[in-house]
Amino acid sequence: MDYIDPHLLQSDQLKNLFVLLKKKGYDIIGPTVRDRAVVLDSLADPEDLPVGYRDRHAPGMYRLENVNDDTCFSYVVGLESWKKYLYPAYQKLLTVQRTKTAFTVEPVENKPKKFAALGMRPCELKALAIQDTVFTGGEIKDTGYMNRRHDVFIVAVNCTTPGSNCFCTSMKTGPKADAGYDLALTEVKDGNEHYFVTETGSPAGADIVTALKLKQAGDDAIKLAQKKLFEASASMESKLDTVELKAALEKNFDNPDWETIASRCLACGNCTMVCPTCFCTTMQDDTALDGSSAGRLRLWDSCHNIEFSYIHGGSIRNSGMSRYRQWVMHKLAYWVDQFGTFGCVGCGRCITWCPVGIDITATARQITGPKTS
């Protein structure tokens, strides 16, 4: 786990990072505590971070606990992903106005704020790379996404305390960020010492390090940060064998265990809402009662909704089983055909926030595993 141009950001210098980013015109978005959960919101200063909080995850269970230390990033992941800022759940695409003789159609211009994403986990960073491919990697590009994505300054934070639902090591997405960031921090609390080993990943990140006048990290600090990341990787409880996973799932498309597993699924769509890579949407037209105007909206949707696969004559996937199977197959098989990677980054959110605790890694093992009599 090599570090790139490592410097030391002392804990009391974190406020200087906030000040500098604001001076450069960034709205700082990051984790904070609200309604007994870690959520993403605008941050005014480091005190808004989840200081002293840790979270416990299990299938269908989330608990946030105050452990009364002064670490800022000891939590795992909250319920929200960064896609809500880059690919909002509600987007107005165009408006229509009626005149005396015709209709005028005007696209809605999205003028996003310039923001800094502070606290993006390595798995979320990989999810962002996947979203980049989905929305900008093909012939048709999503201009709204591109506009929001253009000037995002990313301060990634490496994971030193994985949760029981995390399986980023299996998906090769963590616990250390390897690319795609401007700055990457590894938080170290050792006795009275509290600092962040800081890597630069871009010229913009290097400019911040220079402006903050950070000192080079010494060997002891780097080794301690590396030790914490090694221990985090080694302690990852949840695992998924991805070797030949796609082929094994496709071979087991008609496995009767799909029905057994999906019998628990409520088709609520929670897994798709919290997933950092899901991108399914629907269109909705709103018309004024007097017919003078209308608007077209794009809204998040879920493949678990029976209406999602509706075409003339009915829905293609009428059963809950077929919709659950489609979601898993898309994440772990079809996504590879479409975009060249898995559609899952191992963040574990879908496991945590499933009301009945269905575990995608357990599903994959049961479907592809050897059958015994």
Residue 296 lies in a domain: no
Q: Same domain, yes or no, for 146 and 272?
A: no
**pLDDT score at 2:** 66
**pLDDT score at 1:** 57
Residue 240 lies in a domain: no
Q: Same domain, yes or no, for 71 and 122?
A: yes
Q: Same domain, yes or no, for 119 and 171?
A: yes
Residue 140 lies in a domain: yes
Residue 145 lies in a domain: yes
Neighbours of 180 (CB within 10 A): 17
- Give the separation between CA 20 and CA 6, rounded to whole angstroms: 19
Q: pTM of the predicted model, to two decimals?
A: 0.93
The residue from 185, 210, 234 where one domain ends is 234
Q: Same domain, yes or no, for 217 and 265?
A: no
Task: Give pLDDT < 70 ranges for the chain.
Answer: 1-2, 370-373
Segment 328-350, tens digit of pLDDT: 999 999 999 999 999 999 999 99
Residue 330 lies in a domain: yes
Q: Same domain, yes or no, for 259 and 222?
A: no
Q: Same domain, yes or no, for 225 and 280?
A: no
User: Please, which residues bridge with residue 10 across strands?
Assistant: 195
Domain count, the chain: 2
Alpha helix locations (H) across the chain?
Answer: 14-23, 83-86, 122-136, 143-149, 168-171, 203-212, 219-234, 245-251, 257-262, 270-274, 320-329, 335-339, 349-352, 360-368
Q: Same domain, yes or no, for 275 and 155?
A: no
Residue 307 lies in a domain: yes
Residue 255 lies in a domain: yes
| Main-chain phi, psi angles of 192, to 5 degrees | -85, -5
Q: Same domain, yes or no, for 344 and 252?
A: yes
For residue 220, give its domain range.
Answer: 7-87+114-234
